[in-house]
Amino acid sequence: MAKSRLFTGSRASRIAEADSVAVLGLGRFGRALALELMASGTEVLAIDSDEEIVQSLNGAVTRAVRADTTKEEVLRQLAVHEFDRVVVAIGSDIQASILTTSVLLSFRRPQIWAKATSEPHGRILQQLGVEHVIHPEADTGRRVAHLVRGAALDYIEVGDDYAIVKTSPNSAVLGRRLGDTRIRQEHGVTVMAVRRGEKPWCNADADTVLQEGDTILVAGPTRRAEEFGQLR
């Protein structure tokens, strides 16, 4: 994860190496995402060109910085190229969104999530090579936060503290009958369904044996389901 001279020593506390995300653009969506990531235990470097917005997040995120994210040298100075996960949440300025995304893609390292304000904007981002294009009208900051910080392929919250997570099987369940795994007792979740390759989804039961390449639906308390999705 990201580690930089800018966040060490007397200048500031560095962003934790184990679990960190850079959020570029702190409008309504970016701000909600940054705060949700912080609330769920993820360190956040938050960047925006508006000093007032940046100041409003001081103390609420690990580090808030005013900077021009369209410039490669600025992002390198802030060690954004060292992050494994970056979210481009710029919405009001499509040109800035595209330029920022292009710079990030040149770094090759980060997984990039980019906000699209329209279908054409989303298509441009996809054509640039962005794998994760976010449409806020369909993906709230809260849902995306869970996807970004974990290994979930998809995430649906069905109550105040209950979620269904689409993920891949981990070592706790691979190659064993689900009935022999004690998954509910040890992890507090239930494997509801499994999909093998391109076959249809089917219900999982105690005799189901999960394999590499399977996709599963796991249900349980939000934090427990998310933690299970992060296991490998």
Vertex 25, ends 21 and 28: CA angle to 5°?
A: 105
Q: Are 65 and 57 in contact (CB under 8 A)?
A: no
Task: Name the percent of the chain lying above pLDDT 90.
Answer: 60
pLDDT (0 to 100) of residue 11:
30
Distance CA 196, CA 151 (A): 18
Query: What average pLDDT does the segment 40-67 reach?
Result: 94
Q: Is the pLDDT of residue 163 over 50?
A: yes
Pair (48, 106) in one structural domain: yes
- Work out the pLDDT band at 137, boundaries 50, 70, 90: low
Lowest mean per-residue pLDDT among 46-60, 150-164, 215-229: 150-164
Structural domain containing residue 204: 154-230
pLDDT digits (tens, 9 = 90+) for 74-99: 999 999 999 989 999 998 899 999 99
Minimal CA–CA distance to 222: which of 135, 139, 143, 169?
143
Residues 13 and 112 in one domain: yes
CATH number at residue 34: 3.40.50.720
CA distance 151 to 194: 17
Of 120-134, 146-160, 184-198, 215-229, the poorest mean pLDDT is in 146-160
Contact 22, 80 (CB under 8 A): yes
Q: What's the residue count for the chain?
A: 232
Of 101, 129, 149, which closes a domain?
Answer: 149
Q: How many domains are there within the chain?
A: 2
Q: Which of 86-100, 103-117, 146-160, 197-211 has the lowest mean pLDDT?
A: 146-160
Q: Which of the listed residues 98, 130, 149 is the one where a domain comes to its end?
A: 149
Are 42 and 135 members of one domain?
Answer: yes
Q: What mean pLDDT comes out for the span 147-167?
A: 78
Mark whether 121 and 141 lie in a shared domain: yes
Other C-beta atoms within 10 Å of 197: how many? 8
Mean pLDDT of the chain: 86
